[in-house]
Chain A
Amino acid sequence: MLAGRAPPGAAGCRRLLAAALAAGLRPLLCGPPCWAAARRAVGQWPSPGLRIPEAAEAERLVQQLQRVQRARLPLRRFIACPQLARTVQRCLQGGASPSPQPVLLECAPGPGILTRTLLNAGVKVVALESNSAFLPNLQSLENSLDGQLKVIYGDFFRLDPLGTGTVKPPAVCSDKLFETMGVAAVPWRADVPVKIFGILPQRRERNMLWRLLFALYECSSIYRYGRVELNIFVSEKEYKVLTAKPGEVKAYQALTVLWQVGCEIELLHKEPWSSFATNLKSGGLAVPKSRWLPNDHLCLVRLTPQENLFTGGLKPTNSSTFIFMVKQCLAKPKSRLTDRLKSWSLDNSGKLLRELEIPKNAETRNLYPEDYRRLFEALQNSSVFTETWFHDEVLESIRNINL
């Protein structure tokens, strides 16, 4: 405990606060040892031995920020507790092979508790922060280190906005971001080029999941650079959706099928909502309501794109039709698959299903994700499937979901 304590929260303006933040969290450095360069080459940095502020301190800083900034900030959750940060850090590094670890992009680090933990663990971190008030602190941390941390101003959850006109920060373009990070695109089947960590903003959680999904299937945005590994905290109810089994009422949805086809889904950790700090004035937890599914935790989920996603008939070019087909089928989960196929005039549906060994009376919610993929690939090969009918809707739906 060297540096001065965080000053009392009387700071009147943003600049003052930023200075205070920087002062409060000034890193404690062990002078850069000469062997650092050697370790750097393998992708593992020596621990800079940073002080991790206590949970209460971090929370106070977040609260302070809320008070000082005039505009109402959207609800954000932070990792404030050092234990949680360590757990997350271990999860992120779990199963790390001796081969060089990819860069870790940390979205919205805020007070930087996890950032410091990660840095101490020797991870190379890029911090993408959308709130400029957090920036000075992070930047001074960046300056005090020898390239182990890079701080970028931007909002991961406003990546590649679709509107016309110039991209106004904190919205960012993925190509700019990756250029700044210094990450080049790799082939799909290559190793994970980047790991991303973030907490999905609660209000746009579902929207974000859809957008990421479209990006994944189209190999656009972050997935243009290869099989980017997402490590995200999602609410338990969404986690239940992502990992639902066929036939599970309410949980088994189009989102389920598409994510399970697209990614390997791995639960890394479950943490109660109360472990996270929010930027609410009241300090409340603002746990979203859920009627049908349990929702007591935030779940840290690892989404690794399947290596063989595009090996069959599925291609980034026709994948939007696949997405559309799945959505159509699961728009009414109790309908029969044959009825759905019939209503698209795929007249030999009976034969098709027989070949795929799907029972004739199967309801759309009873099909496994893999079945949907096989169905789609079979349709691609059959001459009768004229996806052109879907075109308007497929295109419409892309446009709509990408909002």
Chain B
Amino acid sequence: MSLLRLRAALGGPARLGGIPWSVLRNYSSASAKEKARRSPVCERTELLEVLKARVKQLQAGNGPEVTVNKQELSLLGNDKLQDPLRSEVAPGPTEEPPAPWGREKSLSRPSSWAEKLKKEMYIRQLKVERKLSLAASQPTLENQVNAKPKGKVKAKSKTKKSPKIPKTKVAPAWNQSQAGSRSTYTHGKLRVATGKEGVKAQGPQRVQEEKDNNQQKILQQTIQSNLQCFLFLQQPEEAERFLLLYHSSPSKRRLLDVNAYDIVMRSWARKGRVRRVSRIFSLMESVGMRPSLGSFAAALEGLGRSQASPKAVWRCLQQLKNNGFHVDELFQKCLFEEDEKEMVLRAIRIVQPDYQLPPSPSPQTSKSSLLQDFYSKEKTVSYPKLDFSVQELQKRFQQQLEMELNSTVTIESVESTKPLTTQTLKARKLLGTLRSQWHSSILQALQKSKHSMSKLRVAPGYNTLYPYLCLLPDEEYVAIMMQILNTLSPQGESLAVLARELGSKVYNRYITQQKLRSQQLEKVQAVYEGYIHLLAKDSQPDEYLPREYWEKLVAESGFGPSLNLRDCSWPYMLLMRLGMHLLELLVQAVKVPRNILNPRLEPKLIPVLYHIYSFHSSWQVGLIKPHPIFSQIVSDAAETLLTFNSSAIPMLCPPVPWTSPHFGAYILNDTKLMRFVDGAIQHQLLLEQCPPVNLHPVLDALNLLGNCAWKVNQPVLDIIISIFNDKGNEKLDIPPPVSEAPKPPVAPGNSSTWNKSHKHELLLYKKKTAEMHSLRMDALYKLSIANYVRDKVFWFPHNMDFRGRTYPCPPYFNHLGNDVTRAILLFAEGRPLGPKGLDWLKIHLVNLTGLKKKNALQERLEYANEIMEEILDSADHPLTGRKWWMNTDEPWQALACCMEIAKASRSPDPAAYISHFPVHQDGSCNGLQHYAALGRDLIGAISVNLMPCSVPQDVYSAVAQQVEEFRRKDAEQGVKIARVLQGFVSRKVVKQTVMTVVYGVTRYGGRLQMEKRLKEINEFPEEYLWEASHYLVKQVFNGIKEMFSATRDIQHWLTESAKLIAQSGRTVEWVTPLGLPIVQPYYRSRPTVLNCSMQHLSVKSFNSNQKPDTVKQKNAFPPNFIHSLDSTHMMLTALHCLRQGLTFVSVHDCYWTHALTVDIMNQICRQQFVALHSEKILQDLSEFMLEKYCSPGRENRALWQKKLMEQLSNVPKTGDFNLKEVMDSTYFFS
């Protein structure tokens, strides 16, 4: 029987799906033979005839339609007839179930007959659906004694009632004339054709579609993540029930796409329930949805599991072909979990016993002209080896895996060395008992709320969070909530932040669970085992890049789950809702006896967390604050254990290489290739659409940066910790503990009698302590993590922001940190200093001091030699000697460098001394360098060191001079403010503004910066602050305009282009020379209100009709574009350094390598800069945008479009700077 059903489901209608529309349209051309063979076709043609007649009738008569006769009622899929009309005007979207009112928009001829037809069609549809879902629910009743279908029927009858006047009016007439012997599928058949036709006619209307898609995307995502939960929980019945809730309502059905049906099919297939799978299949076809490759994969999986008959499999495969797919595609394009792949294969082999898996596609290589050398196989050198054996790396991998499996790590804080007082011990004990009480009360609350939710489930509340509360064991939710409680600062935290944190923690653990469940982890483990042979010192050298090697291993492994997970991200709103629910539970459940610190009070439980509003002029922010009693106990207990997410700790083994936007970095922790603001989905979509080969250079660069091994500079760490535990030192940037804060102002009497000035003082004091607390905690985290890994070698996996700038993933301790953190870090790999290494160390030291900025390298070196005594003293007696290092710009790095120089110079042969010390080379005003190179500005190029000079040029001084010149002239002219400013125009005053001009600072922001600088000068008369800063910022802008004329043109061109693009309703997109697609994520998003019982939360969501924020799009484009260029330059340098065997890491425009290889790195850096800017960057950008935003071939262009086209084609002219000069410029990066 099951076979029969399957045949009915898979065979009949879908075969029709393959029939091109032309056949359907010219129904008369359908051959008699075919009619005879397939009765549904006959039926269809009849219907079409009827329909045609009806159209004529309506067209001719145009009279009011009062009665609905039987014939009309049997119109099936009459929307079809409108299609010829529609396809001329606006083709429908690809695979969307066409809903009548959705299409209304696209119908440009609103003649009344068409409207009537539509109405009829709508009613018709309703009817069919009801029948369908009734039919669907029946087998459920047959097969299992199950109460659920009842609920569904109820829900359905409710949706039927949904108020639409025409429907309710005509419905009775309908019921009377139900007696048609129509097959429910016929309707669907025609729909399938619609879908196909849509595919063909796709094109000019894409913009509109994209918008609509974006809107629905979030809702679709919510439905899918709900279904995915059921799949994860292995509850196919629930999944189907949920699907039917949407399926049975025409308005809601719009939100279902193929994926939703696929998920349900998969959850049945996993249980081997072929009949159920086939039913979903038929459901899908009944609404004219075209099955996807995934649908067939699920069907075949089910067939494979149930050892189906060859006939069934054969039909299914036939069907697949009819839909335009190929069997091989199943294995090439689908993602599999667990043993799905094997099952599909088994099914196929039932009919084709000798079927072999298709060979994996041969790896492509990037064709970017900038990387021809890099990817050309002839020049390949083996990937640099780490100083570890395969076995050692394997062990480290196990450690890392264990850590990630635990999801959190608890480490000793560096404060642990303090002696314990009895009070501390008492408080710790108290906290311990309280925690266990809270733990059980939270657990209770959670279970209670789950219980009440599970009861509610029957009602048609689709938005239930219940499945999301079942994904993890209860204990895990409690642990997450306890973690939040433990890390809450005494000042409290905003509701939104806490909710997001809770939500994403649950999500992350769910993802981990899913990786375990789908057996993805085992496969990663297996592949990683092979992968480390590329890196280990004791294995064969392989001429592969990490990504290539990984891909090769994956391809070889063949079976098993796919490494990429099926996309299962949760929409942001859902994350917040889940978070809010957990937060509410937390606030309700956690209580403390109020007499715990003051036994005289009567014992009574009071909440630990309270909800309070903070007011900011017109809006209010909800905060969660811990009760002072709680804060008191926590501070008394002075606990020395810190708990982090495992992703906050650097990795203990080389990161998993990035191979796709979805896969890389940590073993289990979910990491995004591109960081983005919460809820923004554009970047991810763009990356997915991008051909994988285009991303290779970027992925390879990230892998390279992540593969750099690090270790801790222990002597420096020890000194820092000693100061940290001894009251800190603000001058050295070691934040003192809050106990060192100035005492609070003493006021007479109780707080209510204080006057205003007292209150103000108190406010300042509170602010200061809050600030100190957060600084202290930040340093504590950094140092504790550093201390935790002090004996280990570790890695920072990298990802990037939307402009391609790279960042290490672990948030607290990494090389992007401040002076203190950077001073703690050393390369794990050591290299001899070589002949010039010691000199480079010395120059590096002088660079760190901030002295001798305007001197040549040789002079810096000489200076270092002069002060050698101070350097050695600093190294030997950092805290007791003359403390020369303390008075430098970057004291801690300077100290570390002093120590390295001391060790090196005292070694018998400094050139052979093995150094782990990173030497930095900084771009001098890197943004302006890129601008100057883009515009070939001669004067500008000189001032930012693109031209070879004997001494470094300083653009800030140059601008300051220029401004001083303007001022002098104005003063002579008698401008008062120019006179006031006499003697105040300096490098320091203009520096920040010049630096940020490149990144799009406005006059407004520039003035504020100036005002700040002028305020710092005590002698400057305060009353002129506003006027002077206003004047200065104007002159700085003028000065820059003078010096960088082409730069300003380019900036202007970029800004104007972005403005016009944004005004046309699109976001600004471009592609970096390395092929990374970029989109600016600035939208005028309307906040959505999330109704929660504790508080209504306004959440910025990205779903509602995303119009670009013109101002942001426009202002941010120039800086973002320049950032995308500097990141490209960095990646190019990184990749080419790899080919030369260099160790390379970067902090944006500051490049690090060993002292031995500084010269080579500098050379590569310059080469790549020249290579990058030799590309026609602006022309390419212009062409790309013209193609993207001014679609060619359309005759009647709107005015704005002409304007946009003109703007985009009008690339600014460049100056006559010879780019090749950069090659010899010593101070380009120094």
Contacts from A to B (Cβ < 8 Å): 165-166, 206-207, 218, 220, 315, 317-318, 320-321, 327-328, 331-332, 342-345, 347, 380, 386-393, 395-401, 403
Contact = CB atoms under 8 A, between A and B. Distances in A.
A401 B617 contact: yes
A401 B620 CA distance: 12
B759 A165 contact: no
Interface string B1016-1051: 000000110100000000000000000000000000
A223 to B, nearest CB: 13
Nearest to B594: A347
9 contacts: A315-B752, A315-B753, A318-B753, A320-B759, A388-B751, A389-B628, A393-B615, A393-B623, A396-B614
Contact of B610 (A218, A345, A392, A403): A345
Contact of A397 (B606, B607, B615, B1022): B615
Nearest to B608: A345
A332 B616 CA distance: 16
Nearest to B770: A392
A391 B751 contact: yes
A153 to B, nearest CB: 19
Given A315-B752, A347-B604, A391 B612 contact: no
A53 to B, nearest CB: 39
Contacts of A396: 614-615, 763
B594 A391 contact: no
When A and B form their complex, which 3 residue pairs have the shortest distance between CB atoms, in order from nearest? A318-B752, A395-B763, A331-B613
B176 to A, nearest CB: 47
Interface in B750-779: 751-756, 759-760, 762-763, 766
Contact of B753 (A317, A345, A386, A403): A317
A328 B617 contact: no
A395 B625 CA distance: 16
A312 to B, nearest CB: 13
Interface string B576-603: 0000000000000000001000000000
Contacts of A165: 1022-1023, 1025
Given A315-B752, A345-B607, A401 B615 contact: yes
Contact of B1023 (A166, A218, A397): A166
A403 B618 CA distance: 11
Contacts of B762: 391, 395
A399 B611 contact: no
Contact of A343 (B612, B756, B759, B1023): B612
B596 to A, nearest CB: 13
Given A345-B610, A347-B606, A395-B760, 13 more contacts: A166-B1023, A317-B752, A331-B620, A344-B612, A345-B607, A386-B628, A387-B752, A391-B751, A392-B763, A395-B762, A397-B615, A400-B617, A401-B615
B259 to A, nearest CB: 39
Given A345-B607, A391-B762, A392-B491, A400 B615 contact: yes
Most-contacted residue by chain A among B604, B754, B756 (CB, 10 A): B756
B751 A342 contact: no
B661 to A, nearest CB: 42
Contacts of A321: 752
Nearest to B1096: A332
B254 interface: no
Contacts of B1025: 165
A397 B751 contact: no
B1022 to A, nearest CB: 7
B627 A392 contact: no
Contacts, number: 79
Contact of B606 (A317, A345, A391): A345
B614 A397 contact: yes
A207 B618 CA distance: 9
B213 to A, nearest CB: 33
A310 B543 CA distance: 86
A327 B613 contact: yes
Contacts of B755: 317
A395 B759 contact: yes
Contacts of A403: 617
A327 B615 contact: yes
Contacts of B818: none
Contact of B607 (A327, A343, A391, A395): A343
A399 B611 CA distance: 21
Contacts of A317: 752-755
Interface string B307-344: 00000000000000000000000000000000000000
Contacts of B610: 343-345
Interface in B715-770: 751-756, 759-760, 762-763, 766
B756 A345 contact: no
B162 interface: no
Nearest to A218: B756
Contacts of B607: 342-343, 345
Nearest to A327: B615
B644 to A, nearest CB: 28
Nearest to A383: B601
A267 B594 CA distance: 49
A218 B613 CA distance: 22
B1095 interface: yes
A400 B618 CA distance: 9
A80 B1183 CA distance: 61
A401 B1095 CA distance: 22
B491 A380 contact: no
A312 B207 CA distance: 67
A391 B766 contact: yes
B751 A387 contact: yes
Most-contacted residue by chain B among A218, A321, A390, A392 (CB, 10 A): A392
Interface string B202-225: 000000000000000000000000
A249 B519 CA distance: 56
A331 to B, nearest CB: 4
Contacts of B753: 315, 317-318
A52 to B, nearest CB: 40
A314 to B, nearest CB: 10
Contacts of A220: 756
Contacts of A390: 612
A384 B1186 CA distance: 70
A343 B584 CA distance: 12
Interface string B615-640: 11110100101011000000000000
A401 B616 CA distance: 7
A342 B612 CA distance: 11
A400 B1025 CA distance: 24
A332 B491 contact: no
Contacts of B754: 317
Most-contacted residue by chain B among A318, A343, A391, A399 (CB, 10 A): A343
A255 to B, nearest CB: 12
Nearest to A220: B756
Contacts of A320: 759
A321 B620 CA distance: 17
B514 to A, nearest CB: 37
Contacts of A344: 610, 612
A392 B756 contact: no
Nearest to B751: A388
A327 B94 CA distance: 53
A393 B604 contact: no
Contact of A345 (B594, B617, B620, B623): B594
Contacts of A206: 618
A232 B694 CA distance: 68
Nearest to A397: B615
Contacts of A393: 612-615, 623
Contacts of A343: 607, 610-612
Contact of A328 (B606, B613, B1022): B613
Nearest to B1093: A335
B901 to A, nearest CB: 47
Contacts of A345: 594, 606-607, 610, 627
A328 B612 contact: yes
A219 to B, nearest CB: 10
A380 B752 contact: yes
